A and B are shown apart, each in its own frame.
Chain A
Amino acid sequence: MKIRGVAIEDTFAEAFGMRAARVIITARDPRWATEAAREMTGFATSVIACKVEAGIERELSPAETPDGRPGVSVLLFTMDSDSLAKRLIERIGQTVLTCVTTACFDGLPNAPDRMAVGRSLRVFGDGFQSSKVIGGTRYWRIPVMEGEFLVQESFGRVNGVGGGNFLILAESDAAALGAAEAAVTAMRGMPGVVLPFPGGIVRSGSKVGGTRYVKMIATTNDAFAPTVRAVTTSSLPNGVNAALEIVLDGVDVPSIAAAMRTGIDAACHPGVHTISAGNYGGKLGPHHFHLRQIMDGSTAA
């Protein structure tokens, strides 16, 4: 299969089950909602070292938020349920509670599995906090120097999908970056998906474990690293001098598949040789996103 001259490799991205939450941050204006969202999603590229993967899903208009103010929707992912609650408490407590004019709401109100996030954060109020039930939902009012911070008592937790990905193999680093930037631009704001790495792009794709350093959880994906092509078992076709990866986490399989289709199509630029994907032979992750099926529409998206 080729799209505008770019080969779509007959392979698949292998993704894992994760636990997901959606946090809605509102503020007086979009600037402060975005400031808080950026802080909340900082140092959240990979669970390997950051304990959480997170990203900005999209900006929200005042008509879409619980308090009628501009907002930003953030998705967070962890490998287990307990750590998701801990990360939300840490990150909302340190990056939203602290940010001027913000309030914080659950973006998965229909999820039956609930985390006591606001209920935990309320103790920052040192006994001066109070709660309000509005439309059947409880919120905590925590007094702060600016006035009050409002946070929803509980946040929903659902099964998500982490590690959706595709690789852009290009003739030059500039072509790879241009294609990756185009893919990220096209995928930004798509519902249910975030791109947790810097600018949505990963240059340090990894493999599980290490060959020389066996205690490492992950080491460089030498099969796609062009500078060691001659000294390792390379997966890079001739003529490829740079590869970049796009990693996607999502609330469900169709959201990731839809974003991959959009991103891959946008990445098929001049100078791009092949679109590939990272997998572990299908042995580790239950979700397999076959690139050709995604691009010809034969898989759910």
Chain B
Amino acid sequence: MSDAVTLTLRTTVARRLEAESITPDALATLDADAIARLPLWDGPQPVPLGDVFHVRGGMSSRVRVAGDLAMIDAIGAGMTTGELHVEGPVGRYVGTRMGGGELHVIGDAAYGAGLEMTGGLLDIAGNAGDRLGAGRLAAARGMSGGEIIVRGNAGAEIGATMRRGTVVVAGNAGPRAGTGMIAGNVIVFGSAGEDPGRFNKRGTIVVYGSVSVSPTYRYDCTYRPPHIAVTLVHLTSRRNLSVDGDVPAARFRRYSGDMAELGRGEILARSDER
């Protein structure tokens, strides 16, 4: 048993590899030799993990993965416990279907981070790609629990078809945030791209920067939603997210929608009105 398992990339990876085996759940029960024998997948071909990573330590639910991992997909997929720290840019589907534990990415994450996540914390220090916290294309539902924090910007269709949970983007979000949301929260501290909340049933989309609200939403009022204050305390105190000083006092224009759906969702767009 060691304090942590450390996987350090041996060399640049030229072909996409799937690394669903890299989870604290799996590594917590294995020594370094057994970890090195775990399979990564190059398409249908297994590749021993030890051929790609230098392995140090074993039998620990604290895992550190370091290197340029942009070609390595699905790290932390399905993890349910422990801590996974990814140091470097990471490929697609990081933390997909994760149900618990904490996954910290010290870098950018590509397409589908936190896809269909059900619990735990996915914290991305850099930028995130498209369909963050969403579902697979054509899937009935996306993220259904847990929390995703992106400290940079995020791509298109974040939180698409999400059912529960919270996606927070400190920067800007791409187009169609919260498309097909069933419920849950998407919070964007920057600006949101075009057409957010299309086909939103009960979800909440909060935007502090600029946002263009679809005509299928109807304006309710301008107010201070009390749950936003609780959310800010949570994000600043427990997630160490820094916000501008005027953020806590912000008022929001509330729009109910999407009227093409149930109309029970909302877009809360920060107001300049005092």
Contacts and interface: CB of A to CB of B under 8 A. Distances in A.
Contacts of B226: 67, 103, 141, 147-150
B164 interface: yes
Contacts of A150: 226-227, 230
Nearest to B228: A67
A22 interface: no
Interface residues of B, number: 22
Given A66-B230, A67-B233, A68-B248, A133 B164 contact: yes
Interface stretch (B29-37, B61-69, B189-197, B217-225): B217-225
B221 A147 contact: yes
B166 interface: yes
A130 B184 CA distance: 11
Interface string A126-160: 00001011110001010000011110000000000
Interface in A59-77: 65-69
Given A130-B202, A134-B231, A148 B225 contact: yes
A65 B230 CA distance: 9
B238 interface: yes
A67 B230 contact: yes
Interface residues of A, number: 17
B229 A147 contact: no
B264 A130 contact: yes
A67 B204 contact: no
Interface string B84-105: 0000000000000000000000
Contacts of A134: 166, 227, 230-231, 234
Contacts of A139: 227, 230
Interface in B223-260: 223-227, 229-234, 238, 248
Contacts of B227: 132, 134, 139, 141, 148, 150
A266 B91 CA distance: 67
A66 to B, nearest CB: 5
B234 A135 contact: yes
22 contacts: A66-B230, A66-B233, A67-B226, A67-B229, A67-B230, A67-B233, A68-B229, A68-B233, A103-B230, A132-B231, A133-B166, A135-B147, A135-B234, A135-B238, A139-B230, A141-B225, A141-B226, A147-B225, A147-B226, A148-B223, A149-B226, A150-B227
